[in-house]
Amino acid sequence: MKDEIIYRKATDNDISQMSWLITKTIGTCEISKSDLSINDEDIITINKNHLIEFLSNYFVAEIEGKIVGLFGISDVIDKEYYGMSLKSHREFLYGCVDEKYQGCGIGSKLFQMCCEHISDTMVCESWGKNDVNMKPILEKNGFFMAQDLGDDFYYNNGYCPYCCERGKGCNKCKAQIWVRWKR
């Protein structure tokens, strides 16, 4: 890749580009209700609200002033996670790379930036059509698959209307929980 990539902490000025990129590549993970009439503008608003709340936990990749990738990790939290007693841990927030730049190492670099200097247990919910989309990055960074949620978890829990694939009739994707234990 000949374009210079700038990796940095996210700022308030990045929120609009970040929320658009999340909407385009993921949809949203912040589901408050199952509304089959939801549209891109609704999802962008949901994503902006999430980003505003957790912005200090995000890193971005920028090329020529455009955000092309982002990853975030939560502060330490103490809650049940899919029935797994993890005690205090951090969970990955949104993570995505513009389709044009996937396969160039941007996601790996942003993921590693989130993991640097973190010794807490970390949890990542990953998904994809045929296999979880982050599997190579997770394995490379010492994560293991702790729970397979199956191919219909998101469909059964009302996620499909919020997915970037909504309206395409797929209604299934592989979902898994990956963990890296406290170091």
Per-residue pLDDT tens for 95-115? 899 999 988 999 999 999 998
| Residue 99 domain flag | yes
| Residue 1 domain flag | no
Please give the residue that has the higher pLDDT: either 42 or 106: 106
What pLDDT was estimated at residue 57? Answer: 93
What pLDDT was estimated at residue 129? Answer: 75
> Residue 13 carries which DSSP code?
G
What pLDDT was estimated at residue 156? Answer: 79
Work out how many domains the chain is built from and give that number: 1
Average pLDDT of the chain, as a whole number: 84
| Residue 142 domain flag | yes
75: domain CATH number? Answer: 3.40.630.30
Where residue 8 falls among pLDDT bands split at 50, 70, 90? very high
Using alpha carbons, select from 136, 131, 128, 133 the residue that is nearest to residue 154.
Answer: 128
Q: Is the pLDDT of residue 160 over 70?
A: no
Q: Is the pLDDT of residue 33 over 60?
A: no
Q: Is the pLDDT of residue 34 over 60?
A: no
Q: Is the pLDDT of residue 13 over 80?
A: yes
Q: What is the average pLDDT across 70-88? A: 82
What pLDDT was estimated at residue 167? Answer: 67
Q: Which domain holds residue 83?
A: 6-180
Judge contact between 123 and 179, C-beta under 8 A. Answer: yes
What pLDDT was estimated at residue 108? Answer: 93
Per-residue pLDDT tens for 45-71? 888 888 998 999 999 999 999 999 999
| Residue 106 domain flag | yes
Q: How many Å apart are CA 106 and CA 69, to the nearest integer?
A: 7
What pLDDT was estimated at residue 37? Answer: 64
Q: Is the pLDDT of residue 117 over 80?
A: yes
What pLDDT was estimated at residue 36? Answer: 52
| Residue 18 domain flag | yes
| Residue 98 domain flag | yes
Using alpha carbons, select from 122, 149, 125, 121 the residue that is nearest to residue 135.
Answer: 125
